[in-house]
């Protein structure tokens, strides 16, 4: 899915942020700015975005040419869930996470990285085939 190429290879970074700043994760504009800055930091090209205030949290997605970034916040619990999925080997999803970390100021971050578009990038749970 690289622009101008045929690579399906990508990185899907899943992040759990705990002990986040309540004000930062409850304010729609703060969350939107952080996610846009994070998309640019990864080297991705923003196509569209959609953010919704949940009172007290925010949920949103940024669609990029290279895939997407999403966020869901629970300020009352100090928690944010973030996905950064970038296709192509020239993108840096970890750079996105640094921007988000600086904006939300969590006490602890847990991450999982999944290699997408490459057989073996996921631990396969089953070889289920759809019924025909």
Q: Is residue 101 part of a domain?
A: yes
**Contact in structure between 92 and 10 (CB atoms under 8 Å):** no
Beta bridge partners of 129: none
Q: What is the DSSP string of 10-75?
A: EEEEEEEEES--HHHHH-HHHHHHHHHHHHHHTT--EEEEEEEE-SS-EEEEEEETTEEEEEEEEG
Tens of pLDDT along 39-49?
Answer: 999 999 999 99
Q: Region 93-97: what's the mean pLDDT?
A: 93
Q: Is residue 92 part of a domain?
A: yes
Q: Work out the mean pLDDT of the chain and round it to a whole number.
A: 87
For residue 126, the model assigns a pLDDT of: 44
Q: Is residue 128 part of a domain?
A: no
Q: Out of 20, 44, 72, 96, which one is annotated catalytic? A: 72
Q: Is residue 82 part of a domain?
A: yes
**Contact in structure between 28 and 111 (CB atoms under 8 Å):** no
pLDDT range class, residue 8, cuts 50, 70, 90: confident
Structural domains in the chain (count):
1
Q: Out of 26, 42, 44, 67, which one is annotated catalytic? A: 67
pTM summary value: 0.83
Q: What is the CATH number of the domain that holds 62?
A: 3.60.90.10
Q: Is residue 86 part of a domain?
A: yes
Range of the domain at 44: 10-116
For residue 120, the model assigns a pLDDT of: 62
The answer to whether residue 87 is catalytic is yes
């Amino acid at each position: 899915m690289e622009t101008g190429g045929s690579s399906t290879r990508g990185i899907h970074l899943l992040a759990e942020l705990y002990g986040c700043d309540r004000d930062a994760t409850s304010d729609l504009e703060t969350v939107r700015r952080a996610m846009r800055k994070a998309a640019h930091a990864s080297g991705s090209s923003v196509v569209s975005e959609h953010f919704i205030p949940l009172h007290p949290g925010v949920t949103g997605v940024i669609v990029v040419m290279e895939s997407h970034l999403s966020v869901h916040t629970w300020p009352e619990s100090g928690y944010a869930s973030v996905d950064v999925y970038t296709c192509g080997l020239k993108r840096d999803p970890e750079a996105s996470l640094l921007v988000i970390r600086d904006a939300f100021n969590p006490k602890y971050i847990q991450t999982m990285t999944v290699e997408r578009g490459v057989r073996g990038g996921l631990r396969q749970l089953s070889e289920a085939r759809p019924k025909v």
